[in-house]
Amino acid sequence: MKPAAFEYHAPDTVEEAVALLDAHGDQAKVLAGGQSLVPLMNMRLARPAVIVDINRIQTLNYLAEDGGTLALGALCRQRAAERSALVARHCPLLGDALALVGHAQIRNRGTVVGSLAHADPAAELCAVLATLGGTVTAVGPQGTRSIPADELFVSYLTTSLDPRELLTEARFPALPRGTGWAWKEIARRHGDFALAGVGVGLALRGGRIAEARIGLTGVGATPVRAARAERSLVGAVPSDALWEAAAEAVRAEVEPDGDIHASAEYRRHIAGVLTRRALAEALTRAREAA
């Protein structure tokens, strides 16, 4: 399998890359790790006229902690983030989810920011960004802007990015000390896209839940924050019955599609089951940390 002919550019700076995107608009695609784009091109399902390869822009290869936020440059590989001590300390939810993205070989090349830009409806990393309320940084001909997760994801493989903008950075807020977390997903085989997945953050104060975050993947066109389920938890005392009620609230909030891999009903069901399990695990971690 070979891609259709395309023009290839390998700029050395962000400015050059943006100038190329500005010149070619939606004819151009950015190549970072290429783990989604290249297969699509090889199968000729995507036929971009112009490829802007950003792999030479070394200033985009970083992972740093910046005032309570983890900042990952557009060239930070998924495997580098997965094995990073900074991620383990400040953003373990991201680390746990990363371990389930494709296979190790894919993560060696694939980038965190590339996965966000691709916006697959079953991607782990998009849901993690949504769960933590993270942002991304985009540089375009008009300058630099910051886009919150809930404004970034628009639909299947579709973001609010302009084709002339380059996503340069993802910013994941660190979990405050004492916050428990869990990532749970179900896939048919290891490395497959999840049928459904859920990320949870849980903070306790005086035996009650002070803060709850629940974000899901694979159950709609974009990652979903289960706002009603989150609200039902805040102020309550943790119990199995409470988890079950939150699971029911999640089931009521999601509208999954069915396909040959799983029906919509099954996806809705496991979204609840995974929520319950994730909340229980997050509680254990929150208590250990306290």
Partner 1 sequence: MKLEGTTTLPAPVETVWKTINDPEALRRCTPGLTELTATGPDAYAATLTIGIAAVKGTYKGTLTITDKRAPTHCKILLEGTGGAGFMKGEGVLDLEPEGTGTLVKWAGDMQVGGLIAGVGQRMLGGVGKMLVGQFFKCLEQQLGSGA
**Which residues make up the interface to partner 1 (CB under 8 A)?**
29, 37, 40, 43-48, 119, 121-122, 155-158, 193, 220-221, 257-261
For residues 230-253, b (16+ Cβ closer than 10 Å) or e, as one string? Answer: bebbeeeebeeebbebbbebbbeb
CB of 68 to partner 1, least distance (A): 33
Backbone CA torsion sign across 106, 30, 125, 252: negative
CB of 45 to partner 1, least distance (A): 5
Q: Which C-beta is closer to partner 1: that of 63 or that of 221?
A: 221
Q: Which C-beta is closer to partner 1: that of 70 or that of 122?
A: 122
Q: Which C-beta is closer to partner 1: that of 106 or that of 157?
A: 157
Query: What are 117's two structure tokens?
Result: 């830009």
CB of 188 to partner 1, least distance (A): 12
CB of 256 to partner 1, least distance (A): 9
CB of 123 to partner 1, least distance (A): 11
Q: Could you tell me if 133 and 148 are in contact, meaning their C-beta atoms sit under 8 angstroms apart?
A: yes
Nearest CA to 129 out of 118, 139, 140 is that of 118
Q: Which C-beta is closer to partner 1: that of 66 or that of 265?
A: 265
Q: Which C-beta is closer to partner 1: that of 29 or that of 164?
A: 29
Q: Which C-beta is closer to partner 1: that of 40 or that of 236?
A: 40
Tell me the C-alpha to C-alpha distance, in Å, between residue 54 and each of 7, 17, 117, 277: 14, 7, 14, 40
CB burial of residue 163 (10 Å; 0-12, 13-18, 19+)? middle
CB of 257 to partner 1, least distance (A): 4
For residues 164-189, b (16+ Cβ closer than 10 Å) or e, as one string? Answer: bbbbbbbbbbbbeebbbbbbbbbbee
- Angle made by CA atoms 165, 168, 174, in degrees to the nearest 5: 130
